[in-house]
Amino acid sequence: MAFEPPQRLVRALGESSPAGDDWLEKLPETAQQAVAVRELTVERVQVPGGRSSLVVLVRLPDGTPAVLKLAPPRARPESERAALAHWDGRGAVRLLESSGLPSTGGVLLLERLHPDLSVRSLPEAKSMLEAAGTLRRLWVEPPAGDTFETVAERTGRQAEAMRASADAEALPLVDAALAAREQLLAAPPEERLLHGTFRQSKVLAGERSPWLAVGPDPVVGECAFDLARLVRDRVEDLIASPAGASTTRRRVKRLAESLDVDQERLRGWTLFRAVESGVRARRVGRVQDAELLLEFAGWL
């Protein structure tokens, strides 16, 4: 079959693709090779799919349903592979192969979950509870000799980009976010292996467990950093609500208490991550997203 990348993926890669990156152009051939060498039967490409990878629903030679995921190098698929191997299905989708087959193009073969049923389909209170419970299971000791990126390293790159691209309107929030980062990194608590990009849409229904996380961009650092992205889930609903600001502050308090995370550290990382995402969205022309995120950050 033709492996046509979904338009969502094409647009996202167009926003961030470095000069000379031909991964998308080679993707159909890479996918064909990955399917052939594993003797997979293709069902369909998942649409709309994600913003950083092609997801193909397949079956193994014995008929077992699975997922073939192909991601460009900048999405760090080998880091994802290492994290999934370390979790070994505890709280996360299970990796069906760790090595030994060609992995050009960042190929991952994963167990099949229910791709169209995320925890976000639940009422908000229940979805937050289930998402938080899933996240707690992922916070484990990093493997010995790990080479995962650290929170300090990742946010250092992001901080540089924020300084370089922030406009005058966003500058006060950028200054506050950068100050919060410096304070948080000055005395970090115990480090864990983190999902890195956790939110409700990253938690899918499964067979062996009700809810399992997918799509990590793993990083090693404090748990509050991982939880911060969850705080702003359904940000469009928060912004539309007259009580959005107070709801946000209650959410920070409840999530911090439920997962034994320091509330002020969670607030600080939520501020940093919201401002970083808002500035980045503005930089690539997603003006509406930028306005929502920066307004949200102003509540913190």
Assigned fold of 7-112: Phosphorylase Kinase; domain 1 (3.30.200)
Over residues 32-41, the mean pLDDT reads 94
Predicted confidence at residue 52, as pLDDT, reads 85
How many CB atoms are located within 10 Å of the residue 252 CB?
A: 21
> Which residue has 């005395």 as its token pair?
187
Q: Look at residues 26, 65, 81 and name the one whose alpha carbon lies nearest to residue 57.
A: 65
**Is residue 223 within 8 Å of 196, Cβ to Cβ?**
no
The CB density around residue 181, as the number of other CB atoms within 10 Å, is 24
Angle at 291 between CA 185 and CA 119, to 5 degrees: 70
Strand pairing partners for 114? 205
Q: Choose between 239 and 97: higher pLDDT.
A: 239
Instruction: Say whether pLDDT at 16 is over 70.
Output: no
Residue 159's contacts (CB-CB under 8 Å, 6 or more residues apart) are 178, 181, 276
Burial of 272 (0-12, 13-18, 19+ CB in 10 A): buried
Same fold, 7-112 and 118-298: no
| Rounded-to-integer distance, Cα 208 and Cα 236, Å | 32
**Averaged pLDDT, 60-82:** 93
Q: Range with the lowest mean pLDDT among 66-80, 97-111, 194-208?
A: 97-111
Beta strands at 54-59 and 107-111: parallel, antiparallel or unpaired: unpaired
- pLDDT of 10 reads 83
Going from N- to C-terminal start, the domains of the chain cover 7-112, 118-298
Residue 103 in this model has a pLDDT that exceeds 70? no
218: which residues sit within 8 A by CB, 6+ positions away? 79, 80, 82, 83, 148, 149, 193, 194, 195, 196
Instruction: List the one residue out of 36, 25, 72 whose CA is nearest residue 53.
Output: 72
Q: Over 60: is that where the pLDDT of 20 sits?
A: no
**CB-CB contact of 213 with 92 (8 Å):** yes
What is the pTM assigned to this prediction? 0.93
Cα dihedral 81/142/16/43 (nearest 10) = 30
Which DSSP string corresponds to 22-76? Answer: -HHHHHHHHHHHHHHHHTPEEEEE-SS--SS-EEEEEE-TTS-EEEEEE--GGG-
Q: Show Cβ contacts of residue 257 under 8 Å, excluding neighbours closer than 6 positions.
A: 263
Structure confidence by residue, pLDDT tens digits, 178-230: 999 999 999 999 999 999 999 999 999 999 999 999 999 999 999 999 999 99
The pLDDT of 250-267, averaged and rounded, is 96
Percent of the residues in the chain that have a pLDDT greater than 70, as a whole number? 94
Contact 272, 181 (CB under 8 A): yes
CATH superfamily of the 118-298 domain: Aminoglycoside phosphotransferase (APH), C-terminal lobe (3.90.1200.10)
Q: Is the pLDDT of residue 100 over 70?
A: no
How far apart CA 145 and CA 54 sit, in angstroms, is 30
User: DSSP label at 95?
Assistant: B
Alpha carbons 56 and 41: distance in angstroms, whole number? 10
Q: Let me know: does 140 contact 84? Beta carbons within 8 Å.
A: no
d(C-alpha 81, C-alpha 289), whole Å: 30
